[in-house]
């Protein structure tokens, strides 16, 4: 007697956010963002430097970097005429763990499949914006299935090899590591520099080698992302605030609202997904 053999899908693409294909001039710098969906940035030609949650990636033609949800990331273009193709999507499944903190060099067949996915996603978004929901579902679902196929192919591959980093970029990684280790303390820039065994000027130079965001604002952003993660996991507002060094709840509320555009209690009420939609 025949019995069904159940399959467990390790990757399930559940929604799409967009697709972009742009050419950038050298020196272009995107100061950073974080959002509640996955993003793949593929270098179709040229070279770029990307950061993601305390890591630095040097990518050239054929390389792709994967940014997981709520990962703060930046982009700097290193070469004239660099062309980047980006797709943003929501996905669930144990298989997506493989793509956290990862870059990969795509083979020719994988590049072809990725570019088709990007075109499908772009077509789907165009249909959605024009009110053609049937077209959106058709293009979006076919792109999603192709993306799942690509991710399954890549999941069994070794990670790409990162390019050599400059001394300042290596120092930046050390600085971010120190910030993570001291996220529960309120430290000034001179105090952070001292924890890194660096002078203030060298500390600032290393920070600006990768990001135009100053050290104090970067450290604060790291704290607020930790607060959001804790609130999403069910922690109380006081627990989350205290864990990153805030002892005055009135001051914390002022800072949270100033930096995010809403109160912490409002964030707790609407959740991360609606917050990202508003942003």
Query: So what's the pLDDT on residue 248?
Result: 92
Same domain for 111 and 178, yes or no, is no
Tens-place pLDDT, residues 149-201 = 999 999 887 776 666 667 777 787 788 888 888 999 999 999 999 998 989 98
3 inside domain: no
Residue 161 included in any domain: no
Same domain, 36 and 111: yes
Domain identity same for 17 and 139 = yes
Residues 28 and 150 reside in one and the same domain:
yes
How far is 267 from 151, CA to CA, in rounded Å?
Answer: 32
Residue 4 belongs to a domain: no
Taking the chain, what is the end-to-end CA distance rounded to the nearest angstrom? 55
Question: Residue 74 forms beta bridges with which residues?
Answer: 51
**Diameter of the chain measured on Cα atoms:** 75
Same domain for 130 and 197, yes or no, is no
For the chain, which residues score pLDDT lower than 50? 275-279
Residues 189, 139 share a domain:
no
Task: Identify the pLDDT of residue 206.
Answer: 82
183 with 79, same domain: the answer is no
Same-domain pairing of 197 and 113: no
**Residue 150 shares a structural domain with residue 17:** yes
- 123 and 209 belong to one structural domain: no
Q: What confidence score (pLDDT) does residue 87 get?
A: 96
CATH code at position 32:
2.60.120.10
> Does residue 30 belong to any structural domain of this protein?
yes
Q: Which helix (H) or strand (E) holds 134?
A: helix 133-155
Q: Is 265 found in the same domain as 187?
A: yes
In this predicted structure, what is the pLDDT of residue 160?
Answer: 64
Domain with residue 258: its CATH number is 1.10.10.60
* Whether 18 contacts 69, CB under 8 Å: no
Is there a single domain that holds both residue 80 and residue 209? no
In a domain, 29, yes or no: yes
Number of domains in the chain: 2
Domain that holds residue 148: 12-155
Evaluate the CA torsion angle 244, 249, 255, 259 in order and state its sign. positive
CA-based angle 32:232:144, to the nearest 5?
A: 65
């Amino acid at each position: 007697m025949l019995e069904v053999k159940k399959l467990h899908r390790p990757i399930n693409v559940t929604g799409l956010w967009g697709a972009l294909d742009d050419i950038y001039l050298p020196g272009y710098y995107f100061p950073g963002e974080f959002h509640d969906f996955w993003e793949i940035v593929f270098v179709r030609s040229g070279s770029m430097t990307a950061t993601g949650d305390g890591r630095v990636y040097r990518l050239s033609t054929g390389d792709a970097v994967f940014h997981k949800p709520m990962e703060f990331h930046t982009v700097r273009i290193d070469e004239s005429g660099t062309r980047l193709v980006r797709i943003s999507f929501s996905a669930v499944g144990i298989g997506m763990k493989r793509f956290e903190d990862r870059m990969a060099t795509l083979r020719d067949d994988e590049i072809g499949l990725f570019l088709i996915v990007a075109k499908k996603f772009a077509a789907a978004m165009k249909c959605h914006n024009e009110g053609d929901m049937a077209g959106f579902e058709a293009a979006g679902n076919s792109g999603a299935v192709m993306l799942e196929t690509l991710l399954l192919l890549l999941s069994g591959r070794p990670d790409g090899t990162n390019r050599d980093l400059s001394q300042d970029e290596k120092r930046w990684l050390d600085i971010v590591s120190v910030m993570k280790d001291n996220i529960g303390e309120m430290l000034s820039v001179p105090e952070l520099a001292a924890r890194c065994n660096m002078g203030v000027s060298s500390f600032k130079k290393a920070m600006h080698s990768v990001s135009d965001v100053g050290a104090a604002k970067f450290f604060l952003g790291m704290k607020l992302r930790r607060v959001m993660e804790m609130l999403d996991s069910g922690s109380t507002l006081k627990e989350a605030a205290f864990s990153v060094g805030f002892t005055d709840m009135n001051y914390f509320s002022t800072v949270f609202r100033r930096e995010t555009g809403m109160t912490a209690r409002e964030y707790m009420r609407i959740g991360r997904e609606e917050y990202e939609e508003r942003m």
